[in-house]
Chains A and B, each alone.
Chain A
Amino acid sequence: MGTILLTSLLFFFLLNMPIAFSLGAATTVTLVIQGQIPLTIVAQRMFASVDSFPLMAIPFFVLAGNLMGFGGISRRLINFATCLVGRMTGGLAVVTVATCMFFAAISGSSAATAAAIGTILIPAMVQYRYPLNFAAATVASSGELGVIIPPSIPMVLFGVLAGQSIGTMFIAGFLPGILIGASLMLTAYVISRIKGNKGTAGVSPGETWRSFKDAVLALLMPLIILGGIYGGVFTPTEAAVVAVFYGLVVGMFIYREIKLKDLKNILANSAVTTAIIMIIISNAATFGWLMTRERIPVQIAEAFLMITQDPLVFLLLVNLLLLFIGTIFETSAALILLTPLLFPIAVQLGVHPIHFGMIMIVNLAVGMVTPPLGINLFVTCNIARIRIEDMAGYLVPYLAVLIANIFIITYVPQITLWLPTVMGMFR
């Protein structure tokens, strides 16, 4: 049965059928051929897998991110980052990474981060005579911080799938996010040094202070989200809805950039974005249910454990597998299908559950910046009006740095586990 399931999935993928429908259709075909379980189960599983309160953090984080983006937050964050690091060599490229780090602390999605920052900074960089392809590659690769610096939609999903605390995952994401952000800034600096891209004009401390005051309301948002979850006041879903109302109040009444008539579009766009992510979750979970029922995870676990019992070798194999899967697979679908396969083995080999979650997420995040299926590349190519091939030359150094980060995060678990440990999140 497992063979039919996987072959039909591959068949639908080859035809370029939408990923959500491919997963659902492969499940249906297998059930029809098997002929034991009534097909009602397909509709039932699709329903049950999205009937979840923790997953409701997804629409709320999408909405909060859109409210902040529309409410003029991105521009204020960019101003602040420019005052801080703009005058360095490659100023605007470094600013791009820094702003993506700030924005990632509001948004849970990497595509949204790349879109919000890229729309403003790609034209700005071109104006300052940065190569267009360099600008696009910088935005695409730093956009991945969106899912690593909390909040993060994939972390919500991993928490639900592996039965781990979403709040702990969020806290654990901080240091890896800062590590990746810092190394991307360094890369942007080195490339700009070689290309001779100068920084922006220096600014006075007074101007920096003003830009900080202007951006402070945006910078406070992650504190509210994480403080609330950490203090045990909110569940992640409730924290996300508090972020929604915070973004609404800031955008409508303080920055005054969101008008009442804009609300319908912001809500509707957020709803469709949510639906596109969650219809994949719904179908992938149905597929995953049948996969588990056919005992495929157990067989794969046995095969894995035959190759190696060494956690370090196992993690190396996992990294290679996830990097490969990440390049061709959509992130939520990959998480839903691979978490039940890999998580039990990892725990059995003594890898910390939260650390393993982080490894999965940093790997799959790199998949968003690699062709053929890299959502960040689609977003930035769309903004810069170029093709993926055009920016390939600049993408390579960034990808090399991102992959180096994966290995550091994999083999130095303290980067992930130190902060949650000192915050007393492990009992």
Chain B
Amino acid sequence: MEPAEFYIKIMDKVNHLVTWMLAVMLGLMSLAIFAQVIYRYILEAPLPWSEELARYLMIWLVFLGAGLGVRAKALIGMEALVNILPRSVKSVSKELVLVFTVCFLMVVLYYGVRLTIMNAPQVSPAMQISMSWPYLAVPAGALLMIANVFVVALERWKGGSS
């Protein structure tokens, strides 16, 4: 399974990079809103862009972070319910979940791209940047989630039944 190992290795690098991006984004969000507090209450000169910047960063943080959540198997399901399924269904439930999850995320990816393109002419109220920038978080996150769904699946197939 040489290609599989290569893929997982590449994704480890990507995820490492995303981890850094998330740390920087949360740091920037905190600085932006802290600056907003300082400017409004101490300097009495409200910042026009801080809230918008922090909101868009948070959207990126949520969608990319969910990608890492998939890798860490931290997105929980209804663990207990699967036990009431008949054994035969239970044995394939993980593969079914894989198929359905990827189908759903493909929908989010495809329509996320369309949304990003559709909103390109729109400009954000405060920072006057193209609305494509915040919307791009949706397809980017969906892509990372799909990529990591396969990492988890590959590891499961390699490691046997569990």
Could you say which of A13, A53, A245 contacts B30, with CB atoms under 8 Å apart? Answer: A245
Task: Mark out the residues of chain A between 16 and 37 whose CB falls within 8 Å of any chain B CB in the assembled complex.
Answer: 16-22, 24-25, 28
Q: Mark B65-83, 1 if CB is under 8 A from A, else 0.
A: 1101110101111111110
Interface contact B103-A16, CB-CB below 8 Å: no
Interface contact B104-A25, CB-CB below 8 Å: yes
Interface contact A24-B104, CB-CB below 8 Å: yes
Could you say which of A18, A42, A51, A274 contacts B55, with CB atoms under 8 Å apart? Answer: A51
Interface contact A16-B79, CB-CB below 8 Å: yes
| Chain B residues within 8 Å of A316, by CB | none
Interface contact B51-A53, CB-CB below 8 Å: yes
Could you say which of B51, B54, B100 contacts A15, with CB atoms under 8 Å apart? Answer: B100
Q: How large is the interface on B (under 10, 10 to 19, 20 to 34, 35 or more residues)?
A: 35 or more
CA distance A124 to B20 in the complex (A): 35
Interface contact B37-A270, CB-CB below 8 Å: no
| Chain B residues within 8 Å of A42, by CB | 107-108, 111
Query: What is the count of residue pairs linking A and B with beta-carbon distances less than 8 angstroms?
Result: 190
CA distance A373 to B80 in the complex (A): 7
A278 interfacial by beta-carbon distance below 8 Å: yes
Could you say which of A46, A242, A268 contacts B34, with CB atoms under 8 Å apart? Answer: A242
Q: Mark A350-375, 1 if CB is under 8 A from B, else 0.
A: 00000000000000000000011100
Interface contact B55-A53, CB-CB below 8 Å: yes
| Chain B residues within 8 Å of A56, by CB | 29, 33, 54-55, 58
| Chain A residues within 8 Å of B54, by CB | 53, 56
| Chain A residues within 8 Å of B69, by CB | 272, 275-276, 279
B1 interfacial by beta-carbon distance below 8 Å: no
Interface contact A373-B59, CB-CB below 8 Å: no
Q: Mark B57-99, 1 if CB is under 8 A from A, else 0.
A: 0110111111011101011111111101100000001101100
Interface contact B30-A46, CB-CB below 8 Å: no
Interface contact A13-B81, CB-CB below 8 Å: yes
A214 interfacial by beta-carbon distance below 8 Å: no
CA distance A233 to B41 in the complex (A): 8
A250 interfacial by beta-carbon distance below 8 Å: no
Interface contact A51-B78, CB-CB below 8 Å: no
Task: Mark out the residues of chain B between 103 and 162 whose CB falls within 8 Å of any chain A CB in the assembled complex.
Answer: 103-105, 107-108, 111-112, 114-115, 118, 134-135, 137-139
Interface contact A275-B78, CB-CB below 8 Å: no
Interface contact A270-B26, CB-CB below 8 Å: yes
**Given known A16-B82, A242-B37, contact A271–B30 (CB-CB < 8 A):** no
Interface contact B78-A19, CB-CB below 8 Å: yes
Task: Mark out the residues of chain A between 312 and 341 whose CB falls within 8 Å of any chain B CB in the assembled complex.
Answer: 328, 330
| Chain B residues within 8 Å of A282, by CB | 62
Chain A proximity of B63: nearest CB distance (Å): 7
List the B residue with the shortest CB-CB distance to A10.
B81
Task: Mark out the residues of chain A between 285 and 319 whose CB falls within 8 Å of any chain B CB in the assembled complex.
Answer: none
A229 interfacial by beta-carbon distance below 8 Å: no
Interface contact A276-B66, CB-CB below 8 Å: yes
| Chain A residues within 8 Å of B82, by CB | 14-16
List the A residue with the shortest CB-CB distance to B73.
A18
A162 interfacial by beta-carbon distance below 8 Å: no
List the B residue with the shortest CB-CB distance to A264.
B23
Task: Mark out the residues of chain B between 14 and 70 whose CB falls within 8 Å of any chain A CB in the assembled complex.
Answer: 19-20, 22-27, 29-30, 33-34, 36-37, 41, 51, 54-55, 58-59, 61-66, 68-70
| Chain B residues within 8 Å of A265, by CB | 23
A3 interfacial by beta-carbon distance below 8 Å: no
A237 interfacial by beta-carbon distance below 8 Å: yes
**Given known A19-B76, A328-B80, contact A43–B22 (CB-CB < 8 A):** no
Give 7 new A-B contacts, CB below 8 A, not counting A13-B77, A268-B19, A279-B62. Answer: A19-B78, A43-B115, A53-B54, A272-B69, A275-B63, A279-B69, A282-B62
List, sorted by A's number, 7 A–B pairs whose CB atoms are closer than 8 Å: A15-B77, A15-B85, A43-B138, A53-B55, A263-B23, A271-B23, A276-B74
- A: which residues have CB within 8 A of B? 12-22, 24-25, 28, 39-40, 42-44, 46-47, 50-53, 55-56, 59-60, 63, 233-234, 237-238, 241-242, 244-245, 263-265, 267-268, 270-272, 274-276, 278-279, 282, 328, 330, 371-373
- B: which residues have CB within 8 A of A? 19-20, 22-27, 29-30, 33-34, 36-37, 41, 51, 54-55, 58-59, 61-66, 68-70, 72, 74-82, 84-85, 93-94, 96-97, 100-101, 103-105, 107-108, 111-112, 114-115, 118, 134-135, 137-139
